[in-house]
């Protein structure tokens, strides 16, 4: 994937206000959060949270891990904010166009 495609994927992941709220929540908490915790904290349903989290994960903004609960047939998916930055300027875009 080219740098331009990577940047596009990050920007798409961050383009919705709810996605930014999720990123802000994870940054404030500073710890892994389970899908239900994220949805409850933002007063949204799990399905909507999951949609945004999948996009954020594709964009390299968050990372998920599955935890199996012993003694139960239950797998919990936790999300953690990754270090990321987004830099866009005419100079950067001009440079990317040459590569």
Hey, where are the domains in the chain?
A: 3-98
Sequence-distant (6+) residues with CB within 8 A of 6 are: 60
pLDDT of residue 95: 77
CATH of domain 3-98: 1.10.10.10
What percentage of the chain exceeds 70 in pLDDT?
97
pTM, two decimals, is 0.85
Question: pLDDT per residue over 15-46, tens digit each?
Answer: 999 999 999 999 999 999 999 999 999 999 99
Which region among 36-40, 59-63, 78-82, 83-87 has the lowest average model confidence (pLDDT)? 83-87
Give whole-number Cα distances, 39 to 28, 33, 42, 51, 86, in Å.
Answer: 15, 10, 5, 11, 25
What is the average pLDDT score of the chain? 91
């Amino acid at each position: 994937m080219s740098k331009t495609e990577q940047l596009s994927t990050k920007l798409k992941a961050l383009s919705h206000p709810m996605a930014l709220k999720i990123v802000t929540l994870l940054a404030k908490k500073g710890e892994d959060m389970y899908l239900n915790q994220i949805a409850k904290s933002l007063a949204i349903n799990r399905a909507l949270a999951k949609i945004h989290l999948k996009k954020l994960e594709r964009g390299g903004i968050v990372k998920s891990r599955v935890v199996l609960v012993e003694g139960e047939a239950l797998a919990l998916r936790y999300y953690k904010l990754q270090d990321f930055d987004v830099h866009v300027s005419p100079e950067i875009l001009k440079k990317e166009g040459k590569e």
